[in-house]
Structure 1
Amino acid sequence: MRNLLRCCLLALAATLPAIAAAAGNDWLIVQTGPLLDRPGQAPRKSATVLVRGERIVEVRDGHLGANAFADVPADARVLDLRDRYVLPGLIDSHVHLTSDKAGAEAQLESVTQGTAYYAYEAAVNARKTLAAGFTTVRNLGDRGGVTLALRDAIAARKLPGPRILDAGSAISTTAGHMDPTLGFSEALHDAIAAEQTTCDGADDCRRAVRRQIARGADVIKMATTGGVNSRIGAGLGQQMFEDEARAIVETAHLYGRKVAVHAHGADGIALALRAGADSIEHGTLLDADTLALWRKHRAWYVPTLSTVNGYKERLAANPGAYRGDVREKIEWRIGITGKALRQAVAGGVRIAFGTDAGVSLHGRNADEFELLVEFGLTPAQAIRAATLDAAELLGVDKELGSIEPGKRADLVAVAGDPLADVRVLKNVAWVVKDGRVEKAP
């Protein structure tokens, strides 16, 4: 009975903010310890953040009550975070919410499970991600429209989860990295390829982009090179022609969509940059010419270093998780991790935070911070990559990325100073999204 009562009280506590807002008191006063309101600048020693509804109204130094603000009712809610370090809600620019398996296990699951199964999987992973302090994510490809629907359900507050910008299904050429038929019997190809995500030739690639936009995609994802997990022995170099890549980017931009590009080899990275891509994901092999091209075009780099954690942990649990040439590519990827990031930082390339969660584990997104710092960024730069810089990449920097008047009230609180030790971001105690407490100790 005591356990039952405790569960009921916890459930009631979780609904109190919504009840107060419904009653007309939509003011929230957040009293903080150190506040990193504008990543890249020095934090405030202590502060008060005034929130009304989903938006930040005012930020002031020191700890203030309702009587310090005009028009704020005396019974405004107060969130006491004076013993915590507070910073903006975090942003992961590269996740796959439907994915939680890898290698042969994931391949088998893809033909033994249906859309309903993946819908629940995505909902669980979204909740893990929000609890880890990531209030916004960019989901870069799945099948069945699962995350498009989840995006809308979360926006309507039917389910808890981060704000989602979704790519629908990723685009590649036939036999390219994201051709969904790779590794399956030819007898299954027509059924597996029903979403028409592969394209060959410029006109067909324009069709593929328009197909995703018609489905409601916020961003377009394409692959210009092979991939580590591709079940085809075609390497990691360029697998798309110039006219195809340019057609995809130009069509996406025509409709106001940005383009994220899976690319490992330097030739495929250069191809995507020349075509006008907005971000390069993974970017494992770089040379001086590619770095010069990158600086010229001002595209973002999303390193996704966390993939190696996923590979290592799955191999430790099951040494046979990956087979053949996929296993060889994974061993290579583990060995080369961080080299490209060091080159990019030295070369002046803009970095945005992204994990490839789904290959790595959902809810462990903050592991990426430690790797970013290990391979070239300062803690301050890594935090900015996951806030203001990621917001700029996603095109939401007027809404998110810092704690400023007019922006959405997304913030997280931790027990230590992440500028001194970025690993404290692995343990987020409080999460506020759109002015609502989503997680509390």
Structure 2
Amino acid sequence: MKKSAVFLTNVLGLHIALVASANATTTLIDDVTVFDSTGKAPYVSDVIIENGRFVSIGKDLSKPDGALVVDGKELSMVAGLTDVHVHWTASRAEVATALLEHGVTTVTDFHSSPDSYASKRKWHESLISPHVAYAARIAPPGGHGADWADERMTRLVASPEEAQKVMEYLDTYQPDVVKVFADGWRYGNPKEDTDISLHALKEITKQAKMRGWPVLTHTVSVDGGKRAALGGVSAIVHAIQDEPTSDELPGLLVDNNVFYAPTLAVYELRPDKLSGYSKIQIAVGKNRQKFSEHNLQAFMEAGVKLALGTDSGIGRTPFGESSVHEMELMVDFGVSAADALIAGTKGSADALGLASDRGTIEEGKRADFVLVKGSPWQNISDYRNINAVFIDGEQVVENGNLMGAQGPDTPPASPAKRLIDDFEREDGKTQYGTLRKSDIDYSFPRSHVLMTTKPGAKVNDHDLSVAIELENKPKPKAGVIFPLSDGSFYPVDAAEFNGIAFEINAKPGVYIVALDSYGGKGTVTIDVIDGWQNVVLPFDSFTGEEPLDINRLLSLSISVAGKGEEAYWMELDNVIFNK
């Protein structure tokens, strides 16, 4: 098989990475049992696929000239799974392979900053990959999801006016969906985060729907479910598990056409998780799962439409395997095997606004499908018996294993340029064309960083002025990050240089300079005194637990770690790779 290429298409306003063969073939699958996810009973049929679409489904179809014929006897055809809740926290090649080998053909990406979308879409051209829908992350100030990285990763919204501005910002990057961290309940932990307000959520969904972007929410409580329904979201992509559902909530979800993907897999008390839990944590977790089961049954009985999500990539929830196991857990909680399969195919595609394009086996639909041995609509675990997986009509998996060589684990490096940032660009970007980011400590309360360029001491010269306020918490830290590519995704090779250098004028103290790379990170501390000084740091002065790879550098940061409620300032200029 020739390696697949990825192109971008526009489906109902969504820009999705789609896999297509370099030489598209016509395929006839003969005498296969079809479960089409439309609600029909399974039936035996021939299926013809051309140009990545199902073109004919029926008995005794004539073989098209030159068609590849697949014997479908003793096999079942089902639509590929769509997982609406995935965090790409590992190598993208590794994740893509695991998903495809488990029959997952469309997924979201909840773990990427908007400035990285274009780079990652480009990178997937070199991978054998499922379709990827990139999610813009939004949270209220102090809300779950805003406790790591900075606003380049998760935009903060507390009002309708801020919602409008954030959507205008996102127009530049064109996400495929929007994820709102709407619910601050933290699973019984006394330290809760902030809920988003209903009026802010309504404006987010209004603005998103104008752009054709479905809105998915992190919602885990009954009150949060009501807010999500009244806010007009497309789907709730976590289990509601703080208490038994109110009598009102199921009807609200139905009336507002909200899909429900309970992500049971991430909450499962697996043996590999229990070893690190206390008896109290285990008891609390079991109680939450009881509420999850009760509420799933109540929603199902009320007619709430189900989708499949896993939160894979978080909490040791494996990619691909969890998507199949999610359906098994649905069945354990009272959903029929057929309905679980429909949730994972048609339901999830519909939740992402893609139901007219995929999710069912119908003429005209995208030919993303799986051939399995068995009848997963009767025994859901039969979905594990994968014979073949097809994306856009091209086979990518055979007998559970990826066909052909997967692309590299990391993107190729480009040669590093000497000048990283001199703060002279009118668009406010670094000389690498990237957006500067705040380096902020993890978890609430979070330290604060304010950056602005200002005139320097020389004519037509500018410096970066950084104001820092450290929060009252253990080991507060804050500073500035200089990405070496958009979203720090494509690395640079700095082998021709000896280190980095910059000019700094700052409040005296100990500052931390860090270089991030694929595979490792190195840091060095510097003592800053009064007045401007030139700092030169050889690469071999950077140390860390994993060796720094100067051939695959991702970013440079300059930060300060001090005591809570301390204020710092620094001015920076002429940040370079040094020879």
Shorter-chain TM-score tier: 0.7 to 0.9
Q: 1:234 aligns with which of 181, 185, 192?
A: 192
Query: Higher relative contact order by CA 8 Å / sep ≥ 6: 1 or 2?
Result: 1
1:117-266 to structure 2, matched below 5 A, reads: 121-143=91-113, 145-146=115-116, 149-154=119-124, 156=125, 158-168=126-136, 170-181=137-148, 192-195=150-153, 197-226=155-184, 228=186, 233-234=191-192, 239-266=195-222
Which of 193-202 and 266-275 deviates more? 193-202
Q: 1:81 aligns with which of 68, 72, 90?
A: 72
Note the residue ranges of structure 1 that are not aligned, 5 or more in a row.
Answer: 1-13, 99-117, 182-190
Cα deviation digits, residues 65-94 of structure 1 (max 9, x gap): xxx24xx21x32112232211111221122
In the TM superposition, residue 26 of structure 1 has moved relative to its aligned partner by 2.5
Q: 1:344 aligns with which of 299, 305, 318?
A: 299
Give distance in 2, aligned partners of 1:326 and 1:245: 32
Indicate the structure with greater helix content.
1
In the TM superposition, residue 37 of structure 1 has moved relative to its aligned partner by 2.8
Determine the structure 2 residue equivalent to 1:31. Answer: 30
In the TM superposition, residue 43 of structure 1 has moved relative to its aligned partner by 1.1
- 1:358–1:333 distance in 2 versus 1, CA, 3 Å: farther
Which of 211-220 and 222-231 deviates more? 222-231
Determine the structure 2 residue equivalent to 1:186. Answer: none
CA contact (8 A) 2:85 2:107 kept: yes
In the TM superposition, residue 141 of structure 1 has moved relative to its aligned partner by 4.0
In the TM superposition, residue 147 of structure 1 has moved relative to its aligned partner by 6.0
Determine the structure 2 residue equivalent to 1:11. Answer: none
CA contact (8 A) 2:3 2:22 kept: no
> Quick one: percent identity of the two aligned structures?
25
SS of residue in 2 equivalent to 1:338: helix
Aligned length: 378
SS of residue in 1 equivalent to 2:84: strand
CA contact (8 A) 2:146 2:154 kept: no
Give distance in 1, aligned partners of 2:52 and 2:218: 34
Give distance in 2, aligned partners of 1:202 and 1:230: 30
CA contact (8 A) 2:370 2:387 kept: yes
CA contact (8 A) 2:371 2:386 kept: yes
Give distance in 1, aligned partners of 2:296 and 2:224: 17
Indicate the structure with greater strand content.
2
Cα deviation digits, residues 144-183 of structure 1 (max 9, x gap): 75566434544x4x21111111113x211111111134xx
Q: Does 1:55 align with 2:53?
A: yes
Give distance in 1, aligned partners of 2:72 and 2:186: 43
CA contact (8 A) 1:305 1:338 kept: no
- 1:148–1:272 distance in 2 versus 1, CA, 3 Å: farther
- 1:385–1:196 distance in 2 versus 1, CA, 3 Å: closer
CA contact (8 A) 2:50 2:393 kept: yes
Give distance in 2, aligned partners of 1:395 and 1:232: 37
Q: 2:248 aligns with which of 277, 280, 289?
A: 289
Note the residue ranges of structure 2 that are not aligned, 5 or more in a row.
Answer: 6-20, 400-579
CA contact (8 A) 1:94 1:138 kept: yes
The residue type paired with residue 142 of structure 1 is S
CA contact (8 A) 1:269 1:283 kept: no
How large is the RMSD of aligned CA atoms in angstroms? 2.9
SS of residue in 2 equivalent to 1:423: helix
- 1:411–1:195 distance in 2 versus 1, CA, 3 Å: closer
Determine the structure 1 residue equivalent to 2:547. Answer: none
Give distance in 1, aligned partners of 2:203 and 2:122: 29
- 1:152–1:79 distance in 2 versus 1, CA, 3 Å: farther
- 1:144–1:401 distance in 2 versus 1, CA, 3 Å: closer
The residue type paired with residue 26 of structure 2 is W
- Please give the TM-score of this superposition, normalised by the length of structure 1: 0.77
- 1:164–1:313 distance in 2 versus 1, CA, 3 Å: farther
CA contact (8 A) 2:367 2:390 kept: yes
In the TM superposition, residue 193 of structure 1 has moved relative to its aligned partner by 4.1
Q: 1:369 aligns with which of 313, 318, 327?
A: 327
CA contact (8 A) 2:239 2:264 kept: no
Determine the structure 2 residue equivalent to 1:115. Answer: none
Give distance in 2, aligned partners of 1:252 and 1:372: 30
CA contact (8 A) 2:75 2:371 kept: yes
Q: Does 1:301 align with 2:271?
A: no
Q: 1:319 aligns with which of 268, 276, 279?
A: 276
The residue type paired with residue 79 of structure 1 is V
CA contact (8 A) 1:400 1:408 kept: yes
Give distance in 1, aligned partners of 2:372 and 2:161: 50
Determine the structure 1 residue equivalent to 2:475. Answer: none
Give distance in 1, aligned partners of 2:171 and 2:279: 36
Give distance in 2, aligned partners of 1:215 and 1:325: 44
- 1:392–1:430 distance in 2 versus 1, CA, 3 Å: same
Determine the structure 2 residue equivalent to 1:95. Answer: 86
Cα deviation digits, residues 258-310 of structure 1 (max 9, x gap): 1111111111211121121111122414211122222221211111111123x
1:289-438 to structure 2, matched below 5 A, reads: 289-309=248-268, 312-316=270-274, 319=276, 330=285, 332-359=287-314, 360-364=317-321, 365-438=323-396
- 1:231–1:421 distance in 2 versus 1, CA, 3 Å: same
CA contact (8 A) 2:79 2:361 kept: yes
Give distance in 2, aligned partners of 1:124 and 1:271: 37
Cα deviation digits, residues 305-332 of structure 1 (max 9, x gap): 11123x525424x516xx9998886565
